[in-house]
Amino acid sequence: MRQVIVAGNWKMNTNKAEGEALVSGIKEGLGETSAEVLVFPPFPYLGGIVAAAEGSAIQTGSQDLYIEDNGAYTGEVSTAMLKDVGCTHVLVGHSERRHVLGECNKLINTKTRKGLADGLKVVLCVGELIEERQAWQMEAVLDEQMSWGLAGVTADEMASVVIAYEPVWAIGTGLTATPDQAEEAHKYLRGWLESHYSADVAENTRILYGGSVKPDNAAELIGQPNVDGALVGGASLKADSFLGIIAAAG
C-alpha cells in the first residue's frame, strides 16, 4: 500500500513571518493522519520553516537545486546548502521551471541525478500543455519527459523518487483535470514505470496529481487507483485549506 503524500508548493509567496505562521498553523491542526506531509517554501525561509515544523511530521523541501557542489554560480543553491538547513526533498522539473524559466530536459535530468546522488528525495514533475492535450499528445509528452528526467536513474534510486503529474493547463487557472483524466495520465505513468523498470518499481513509486487541487475536489482525485496524493499550489498557502486537503487524503 503506497503512502499518500500531500505536498504544498508555496512558489514565490509568503514572507518570513507569514511562512512560519503558515507552517505553525499546519502543525497545530495536523492531528493524526496517514498522509506524508511536505512543504516547499521559498529559499530564504527554508531554515525558519524547518525550525517551525520541528516536533511534527511535516517535512521541508526546496523548490529547486543547482547541479554543482559550490563555486562561481551566482544566485544558485547547492544540495549541501539545502541539507544543511534541514531539507529532505527537492522539486525538479516543475512546469514553471520548464516553461517560464526555460529549463530543458537535459538540465532537469542532471538536477534529478544530482539530488539523488547527494541524498535528497526528488519530486520529478511532468505534464502537458493545453495545446499538447488538445492534439492528443499527452502520452508522447509524458514519455519524453519521463525518459529524459529519469535517464541514468537506477531501480534502487527510484525508491527516492516521487512523480508529480501536473497538467500545465490546470495550474493556477482554476481548471482541474477530472478524476478520470487524472487517473488516465497516472495509469499511463505507472505503465511507463513498469515497462522501463519493473512491476515492483511501478507498484511502489508514488505519483501525485498537481493542478488546482482544493479541499472540495481532493478526495475524489486522490481516491483514484493510481493517484497517490497531491502537489498543491495556491491552496497550500492557507493552513485551513491545506489541512482540508490532508484530511481528504485520509
| Catalytic positions | 94, 166
Give the span between the Cα atoms of 157 and 189, in whole angstroms. Answer: 17
Give the span between the Cα atoms of 222 and 91, in whole angstroms. Answer: 20
Give Cβ neighbours of residue 207 (< 8 Å, ≥ 6 apart): 162, 163, 164, 165, 186, 189, 190, 226, 227, 228
Query: What 3-state class would DSSP assign to 198?
Result: coil
Closest CA to 228 of 175, 189, 200, 170: 189
Give Cβ neighbours of residue 14 (< 8 Å, ≥ 6 apart): 22, 41, 42, 45, 237
Closest CA to 106 of 61, 54, 67: 67
224, three cell numbers: 483514484
